[in-house]
Amino acid sequence: MNNDLKINIKGNSLPNIPWEDRPSDCKSVIWRSQKNPIIPRDLIPSSNSIFNSAVIPYKGKFAGVFRADNTAREMKIHRGFSDDGFLWEIDNDPIEFICDDTEISKFVYGYDPRVVKLDDKYYVTWCNGYHGPTIGVGYTMDFEHFYQLENAFLPFNRNGVLFPRKINNKYAMLSRPSDNGHTPFGDIFYSESPDMIHWGYHRHVMAPLLISWQSTKVGAGPIPIETNKGWLLIYHGVLTSCNGFVYSMGAAILDLEKPWKILYRTKPYLMSPQKIYECIGDTPNVVFPCSALTDSDTGRIAIYYGAADTVTGLAYTSIDELFEFIKDNSL
Amino acid sequence: MNNDLKINIKGNSLPNIPWEDRPSDCKSVIWRSQKNPIIPRDLIPSSNSIFNSAVIPYKGKFAGVFRADNTAREMKIHRGFSDDGFLWEIDNDPIEFICDDTEISKFVYGYDPRVVKLDDKYYVTWCNGYHGPTIGVGYTMDFEHFYQLENAFLPFNRNGVLFPRKINNKYAMLSRPSDNGHTPFGDIFYSESPDMIHWGYHRHVMAPLLISWQSTKVGAGPIPIETNKGWLLIYHGVLTSCNGFVYSMGAAILDLEKPWKILYRTKPYLMSPQKIYECIGDTPNVVFPCSALTDSDTGRIAIYYGAADTVTGLAYTSIDELFEFIKDNSL
Amino acid sequence: MNNDLKINIKGNSLPNIPWEDRPSDCKSVIWRSQKNPIIPRDLIPSSNSIFNSAVIPYKGKFAGVFRADNTAREMKIHRGFSDDGFLWEIDNDPIEFICDDTEISKFVYGYDPRVVKLDDKYYVTWCNGYHGPTIGVGYTMDFEHFYQLENAFLPFNRNGVLFPRKINNKYAMLSRPSDNGHTPFGDIFYSESPDMIHWGYHRHVMAPLLISWQSTKVGAGPIPIETNKGWLLIYHGVLTSCNGFVYSMGAAILDLEKPWKILYRTKPYLMSPQKIYECIGDTPNVVFPCSALTDSDTGRIAIYYGAADTVTGLAYTSIDELFEFIKDNSL
Amino acid sequence: MNNDLKINIKGNSLPNIPWEDRPSDCKSVIWRSQKNPIIPRDLIPSSNSIFNSAVIPYKGKFAGVFRADNTAREMKIHRGFSDDGFLWEIDNDPIEFICDDTEISKFVYGYDPRVVKLDDKYYVTWCNGYHGPTIGVGYTMDFEHFYQLENAFLPFNRNGVLFPRKINNKYAMLSRPSDNGHTPFGDIFYSESPDMIHWGYHRHVMAPLLISWQSTKVGAGPIPIETNKGWLLIYHGVLTSCNGFVYSMGAAILDLEKPWKILYRTKPYLMSPQKIYECIGDTPNVVFPCSALTDSDTGRIAIYYGAADTVTGLAYTSIDELFEFIKDNSL
Amino acid sequence: MNNDLKINIKGNSLPNIPWEDRPSDCKSVIWRSQKNPIIPRDLIPSSNSIFNSAVIPYKGKFAGVFRADNTAREMKIHRGFSDDGFLWEIDNDPIEFICDDTEISKFVYGYDPRVVKLDDKYYVTWCNGYHGPTIGVGYTMDFEHFYQLENAFLPFNRNGVLFPRKINNKYAMLSRPSDNGHTPFGDIFYSESPDMIHWGYHRHVMAPLLISWQSTKVGAGPIPIETNKGWLLIYHGVLTSCNGFVYSMGAAILDLEKPWKILYRTKPYLMSPQKIYECIGDTPNVVFPCSALTDSDTGRIAIYYGAADTVTGLAYTSIDELFEFIKDNSL
Amino acid sequence: MNNDLKINIKGNSLPNIPWEDRPSDCKSVIWRSQKNPIIPRDLIPSSNSIFNSAVIPYKGKFAGVFRADNTAREMKIHRGFSDDGFLWEIDNDPIEFICDDTEISKFVYGYDPRVVKLDDKYYVTWCNGYHGPTIGVGYTMDFEHFYQLENAFLPFNRNGVLFPRKINNKYAMLSRPSDNGHTPFGDIFYSESPDMIHWGYHRHVMAPLLISWQSTKVGAGPIPIETNKGWLLIYHGVLTSCNGFVYSMGAAILDLEKPWKILYRTKPYLMSPQKIYECIGDTPNVVFPCSALTDSDTGRIAIYYGAADTVTGLAYTSIDELFEFIKDNSL
């Protein structure tokens, strides 16, 4: 890797990326939207909360898949659209995936979705309840019809996140094996697939770190962002405090061809729950990034994150500053 | 049961029921008082918190039994009176029950009381510390002298709630067997007694439900409300989130003669902790109903509930709407 | 209580009580049968194990109710007969209780039965699976037809043991409230009933003791034996070792009219698992008494106990020696 | 499936299958070798214990892969040969797998191996320590050189068992997802692979059953045995007793083309730990089958099983009797 | 002890003690600063939070040692100075202790410091990560150079608090033995040392109390304050609520010469988390006193306490009132 | 350290050391006595079990301190004498330590004693119940009168073992900090004292090792044996199996002047529970060494160890072979 080159995002330009400049009194590398929470818990009639959701540019505007827990506290995935990335229209009813095999189609719950454009399809992955949590996989070509594929892994697994292109000619996914409850441990692994159905070549990527904001478990967040310096992985880490958990956000740079090799990884967190909508809600003290929009022209990055498992927030950074921060504060 | 008949409450009219109309922007079947919390944590000098309490019409006004934890964090039951149901005068000292048998009279703690008029007595039940939590039973005829009876059950039990009339010629009580700690499980059972001393004919009523707001435990709330369609049981359910518990409120309709048979039971919650006084306090994220006033003329229902184990809130609904909601959203 | 009087058993003479004299080299107050285990695990074709069972004199011979776990490891109660108390014929099929109410009749499991003659009936109590373990109650008059009554208590409860006569004009039962698993705690309580259906007047009898063989939990064993000095209660106590539990046997003398008052209670155990059939089996290190035969003429006592949750053993003592031991070694 | 046809094993004849006739006093469908334990814990100088191992016919005699924990209590896989299936010569040093990728080749531990002939290779699967237990896969063609392939699954997984032929044109494996400790839960799943590297099409096969010998977890044992009636799966199930676990052996018949469909499954166990070498050892009360030899001519089956995680035992049955038993005692 | 004498603090006058009079509407014995939190979580660029810290008069102004967790969530001790006790300048980098022995000098973490003037040195104690939490000891003479001494105790220990003078000619320390996690138990013990290196003569001081604000664990807070009536010990106690812990503040009076003898101990708490900055933060519901300034002339006491493990608060009382309260509300 | 020199024990000759030659068919470095268990569980009338005990040469014969749990399962220390080290006479009553300070003299329990001659005194250390387990210290000069000193450490601690001479002019002790239950973790630490009262200079010696016989906890066994090559420390290690714990014996060589530095440490165990009296008893699968006799002339070592927390065994080795084994099998 040529360290002399300036970092740049290998993606499309996105001139309409949602954006607010950093407030003058803010010194941190990531800053929150003044409009937070941009999606309130009751945006749609059926919802108890809307959070841990993912958006993507679509036809010059934006589309997204949203975790909306209803007032029965069932965890469902809903579709939504937005002109500007701030104001969202979300369907009141969850997505119904089309699937031939009834054995897997009637999944018990679906939550924490991610979405990525790969070839000509928009792939969606989520935590899917099939005899325990595992990684559900589906796709849509038009955000009208969604097709469900096979679950990627055996239970118990969460936070399955696809890479936005094939690596070594194969589909690639990060995930976090866990257990059948609210797992108090968790490492990130890498797996490959020739066909989006069968997965193998599992490699260990990242473990929690003692005495840190990421001491209990870690899990991939948004789709990794390709740069000329490596894959930018924004992820969450969890600390067990004297009275519960704290979910924060960090980042790492992964090797482009061997993404299980970590080039840099932030020792400090990028953002921790400090705003009242992050500290209070159905799950206190949670900042949980699931999606990022990027503009390759300006290097701007807009991160959508769940706050307190209740609402959705938006935060900003730019690739130069973030990369600088990651490098300078790497473990 | 004749489904053609309109539902109505089989009780007295209560023209002075505390009431506020539903705010125009509110769409939920239950709405909160604008004066919440109607009882602050420090209403009386000795108290750390006042919550999970029960009120009843009394001599044209209102009387009540209140859980007031003092600043030693001892759990005690206090007496209170109110002219309007909003402003309460609560004794600074706890009730001293009159009891001949010293073996049971010196109970270690008393909390989460309910009160019901049955025949000519006002019966009080509460969680009573006798070698573990069990159901204490007492009565008063004048809210001056309170007499303690035998504990209804063996430990470990909580949330003992009497029916407001005999069923099949016997007293009837709901309760939630538990264990000796902060039990992470709990079903509602029904029991009968010929004499308010000996209890038997135990029947299972309701269990928690996986993947729901009531997935960890359930417990009866206010005294069941008799209607021509069945007993209206407002109850609490608990969900284990990724970072602690969430206590919400739901409702069911029980068969009039066999109250262990559930006719309807809400799949969504009726109300979950969303206001700051429900989300923050000695026990975060708790909405815990213990009492309801009803007016048979108008069908109005005013629900008193503990918030965050710290203060007392008030919420409203009407029997028509609530019944409709329960039926339409039943499991 | 007149301490001058010699202790004697208030019961019938039982000249054919199973008996073996104490071996000359044995010094302990209780000694084992040389024929142990008197009932092997596979006495009947269907059984995985036969243990924690109860016998009673019947028509000049003996009858009994036996816990026989089948090879599916379902816990069932079987009937058996014996001429001499040593050799038993046990039905290969479990008892089918006659019960009108299907709500309680299809119990999930039945184990650890006791049997007592009360008035003209042989009452059987057992641990009964009804939404958790509770105390099943039934009776037979002829060991042909067994009738099931209401469960005595709400779950969770185990080791329900009836007294052999009414006390203060009411039926009386000891039991051990517990939780929904293999409870690592447990005290003995006393309850009364006017009709064998409704139970109340619950009193605490006995708790575990720190740093002792009975430090984890205690539970009543055989039907209490009435003497002129009080009720002789043989019970089990459990210690948590550095590697699992140890179930031993002890005894107490309870007040005749207020059986929740302990007059004496053994500080040492009477018998602990030391023989290989007590140390090895489906549950290692278990001695669990469930029944005792007594002969009022000689003061002989023959104790049937489960060993390692696998087989049934027999041990002997005499009332004089045992009472002396209990008094001299009381807490 | 034509139920009229007699069951027969679809495999080779094995006239030299180890065999002892059923003792005349034995009535159970499976009977133990009189020579048990056929492999003692200290057969080789380095070993603390030899158990949970797998054998296969090889060049007219027998070869095997053995779990031999050394006296450091490291879990290793050793190679062994036998002329008769009773007397084994096991290498004192563990197998060194040949593997190009150092990332996975230095596995922390390898235990509970199975071996199967598939095409022209002898595939070995085992529990492999790669950031947690997962399923290691390797093969040999000559029992001289062993080659390691990719781990089949992400952690945490144990008891990976290959089918002896492709199903629906793909390799097929059973496994038991678990967690990072001595998992107290566990279901059996089915997965497919086109290339023995990438796995998908995961299907749930079997869960534990409440109130049974298989109430805590279940895991596949020997390579499934193909018959004209379905796949015969011998498996282990675990019960949590009042004082530890009990590992027993059961069996099921799986659909030939959809092996995740259970046709029959034994309600009783086939064999539970009852012999002293099964009840006592490094892990008390364990019977753990890992391998079976079959003779299609006679229908004889010889099952190798680990006893108490310490020694290796041998037990026998015949396909007719076993199938009859499974059918007659199915859930 | 002569109870006739008025209580007075045996210390220096501190005319510039930070102070605000009690608000007229406040009735409690301790009242909060209107400026709370006086130290925000981000006072210094590196910090995530600043709390559980200790201050001391120094050269007519104030110096302090502060727990500042950085944004990596490493727990470090920083130095700070203040002119008035309200506004603090805290070093952005942690203190580097000078220590010859590398075995103990590279401690993994340092948190919850206390500071006391003893002879001519300012001793600092803290929770120090040396193969588990233990009590680190160091000193400074000038708040420039800090020297690390031996750890006082073996792990696992927290909340080591020195007395401000020798007792019986030896240094004296309170501490709370614990375990290697977020210990859910904890008593206060007393120990002595002739040389600040070797410690012995361990005495039990105080245990938690059932059914109280201090039911789970207790730990010493500020340096004990010497009075003519005994040592005033302000401490924290923890209650386990239905949804997490609550850390409150209480006080006790210890015997002057035998400080392990408790003369008085508050049954109610002095202060519990009720303000939003105490209820919300990295650890909800925490009030944790670590330091107190006193003025012997006026009897004023200013208590610095950590709030929600996030910020630092200040509260006031006076010795007369506090002593009166403690006496009148003693257990 | 001169590795050329042959190892020899720096101690007295002990020509009457108990001894049996290694059986010809035994290949392990340590071999058991043919007379095992040399002390049965019921050697004295009061005892339930006698184990984890320590002996020492005394006046040409042998004396010892024995853990004898009585039939109340209280843990007590008894005195004993033997002419030959095989046959012991143990007092039926426990030692009564003379102690002026009633605060510490009435200890709740005393177990797992060690004894060492240091200067002119025989020091005894044991696990002492003072508000949790800690290290009791006492001494005798004549095995008639035993004097109790201060507890060495704060709770929670077990397995305190003194060195047989001062190191760096101070008394030295190994111990294993733990928690208040049957701790499932534990490292060995070293501490120093100038006066046998105050202890400090704590150093970490040894932690458990993953995937080994010593993976859960480790604790010092007999008094370290001084040799010209270092201190020979025989210790126990614990593994958590799939069904309980296994306690085995290992050894290490510690640096003579800095005993917290490990020169060698056995990767394999020296001896694990394999005999029936080690596998079965009150605590299955325990080999627990507490004492060793040595003869400097022959290099013989006789190790006394508790078996299954029930009886006492004896095993032999010689210093040359053992040292060779430790060196050749070191981690």
Residue type, B91: D
Chains E and C touch (3+ CB pairs under 8 A): no
Nearest CA in chain B to A40: B274
Q: Which residue among A242, A279, A284 places its CB closest to the CB of E245? A: A242
Picking from C215, C242, C330 by the largest number of F CB atoms within 10 A of its own CB, the best residue to mutate is C242
What is the per-residue pLDDT for F108? 86
Instruction: Check CB contact under 8 Å for D283 and F241.
Output: yes
Instruction: Kindly list the partner chains of chain A, i.e. chains with 3 or more CB atom pairs below 8 Å.
Output: B, D, E
Nearest CA in chain C to B178: C179
Q: Which residue among F109, F182, F285 places its CB closest to the CB of C211? A: F109
C-beta separation of E15 from E302 below 8 A = no
Picking from C198, C216, C255, C261 by the largest number of B CB atoms within 10 A of its own CB, the best residue to mutate is C198
Q: Which residue among A212, A246, A276 places its CB closest to the CB of E282? A: A246
Show the tokens assigned to A210: 């003692």
What is the per-residue pLDDT for B108? 87
What is the per-residue pLDDT for A227? 98
C-beta separation of E198 from F198 below 8 A = yes
Taking the CA atoms of B252, B257, B258 and B261 in sequence, report the sign of the dihedral they define.
negative
Q: Which residue among C45, C244, C282 places its CB closest to the CB of D246? A: C282
The pLDDT averaged over each successive group of 10 residues in chain D (331 residues) is 78 96 94 98 96 98 98 97 98 96 89 96 97 97 98 98 97 95 92 98 98 97 98 98 96 98 98 98 98 98 98 98 97 93
For residue C321, which phi and psi values (nearest 5 degrees)?
-60, -40
Instruction: Select the more confidently predicted residue: F328 or F183.
Output: F328
What is the per-residue pLDDT for C4? 67
Q: Determine the Cα–Cα distance for residues B320 and C1; give it in Å rounded to an integer.
A: 66
Instruction: Check CB contact under 8 Å for E267 and B73.
Output: no
Picking from C52, C73, C248 by the largest number of D CB atoms within 10 A of its own CB, the best residue to mutate is C73
Q: Which residue among A150, A156, A157 places its CB closest to the CB of D201? A: A150
Instruction: Check CB contact under 8 Å for E242 and B309.
Output: yes
Q: Determine the Cα–Cα distance for residues D71 and F287; give it in Å rounded to an integer.
A: 15
Low pLDDT (below 50) residues in chain A? 1
Instruction: Check CB contact under 8 Å for C72 and D213.
Output: yes
From the list D206, D191, D150, D158, the residue with the least C-alpha distance to D52 is D158
| Other Cβ atoms closer than 10 A to D184 | 12
**Any residues with CB less than 8 A from the CB of F80 and at least 6 apart, and which?**
F53, F55, F63, F64, F65, F66, F88, F89, F90, F91
Q: Work out the mean pLDDT of chain A and round it to a whole number.
A: 96
- F209 min Cα distance to partner chain D (Å): 10
Chain C residues touching residue D243 (CB < 8 angstroms): 244-245, 283-286
Show the tokens assigned to E323: 């002593």
User: Which whole number is the average pLDDT over E196-207?
Assistant: 98
- C283 min Cα distance to partner chain D (Å): 5
Q: Determine the Cα–Cα distance for residues D73 and D98; give it in Å rounded to an integer.
A: 23
C-beta separation of B289 from B50 below 8 A = no
What is the per-residue pLDDT for E290? 98
Would you say residue B41 has pLDDT above 60? yes
Would you say residue B2 has pLDDT above 70? no
User: Which whole number is the average pLDDT over F309-317?
Assistant: 98
Between chain A and chain E, the number of residue pairs with CB atoms below 8 A apart is: 57
Picking from A73, A76, A276, A278 by the largest number of B CB atoms within 10 A of its own CB, the best residue to mutate is A73
Chain D residues touching residue C283 (CB < 8 angstroms): 241-244
Q: Work out the mean pLDDT of chain E and round it to a whole number.
A: 96
Chains A and C touch (3+ CB pairs under 8 A): no
Burial class (CB in 10 A: 0-12, 13-18, 19+), F34: exposed
**% chain B with pLDDT above 90:** 93
- E123 min Cα distance to partner chain F (Å): 17
Question: What secondary structure does DSSP assign to C25-66, as a single string?
Answer: T--SSSEE-TT-SSB-TTSSTTEEEEEEEEEEEETTEEEEEE
Nearest CA in chain B to C258: B103
Residue type, A231: W
- E277 min Cα distance to partner chain B (Å): 11
Instruction: Check CB contact under 8 Å for D283 and F239.
Output: no
Instruction: Check CB contact under 8 Å for B48 and E272.
Output: yes
Chain E residues touching residue A241 (CB < 8 angstroms): 182, 282-283, 309
Would you say residue B1 has pLDDT above 80? no
Instruction: Check CB contact under 8 Å for A213 and E72.
Output: yes
Chains A and F touch (3+ CB pairs under 8 A): no
- A117 min Cα distance to partner chain E (Å): 33
Low pLDDT (below 70) residues in chain C? 1-4
Nearest CA in chain B to C193: B198
Question: Which three-class secondary structure state does DSSP give residue F64?
Answer: strand
Would you say residue B255 has pLDDT above 50? yes
- C206 min Cα distance to partner chain B (Å): 10
Q: Which residue among D131, D151, D152 places its CB closest to the CB of A187? A: D131
Q: Determine the Cα–Cα distance for residues F18 and F110; give it in Å rounded to an integer.
A: 27
Distances from the Cα of B321 to the Cα of B242, B291, B329, angstroms: 33, 19, 12
Distances from the Cα of A216 to the Cα of A178, A209, C130, E182, angstroms: 12, 8, 39, 13
Burial class (CB in 10 A: 0-12, 13-18, 19+), E204: middle
What is the per-residue pLDDT for E2? 53
Instruction: Check CB contact under 8 Å for F71 and C274.
Output: no
What is the per-residue pLDDT for F315? 98
Peptide bond into D15 cis (omega under 30): no
Q: Work out the mean pLDDT of chain F and round it to a whole number.
A: 96
Chain D residues touching residue A154 (CB < 8 angstroms): 153-154, 157, 175, 177, 189, 191, 202
For residue F102, which phi and psi values (nearest 5 degrees)?
-65, -20
| Other Cβ atoms closer than 10 A to F256 | 17
pLDDT in tens, A146-192: 999 999 999 999 999 999 999 999 999 999 999 888 888 999 999 99
Q: Determine the Cα–Cα distance for residues F12 and F59; give it in Å rounded to an integer.
A: 13
For residue B289, how many C-alpha atoms fall within 13 Å in the half-sphere facing its CB?
31
ipTM of the complex: 0.95
User: Which whole number is the average pLDDT over F89-111?
Assistant: 93
Instruction: Check CB contact under 8 Å for B282 and E215.
Output: no
Element (H, E) at E254: strand E244-254
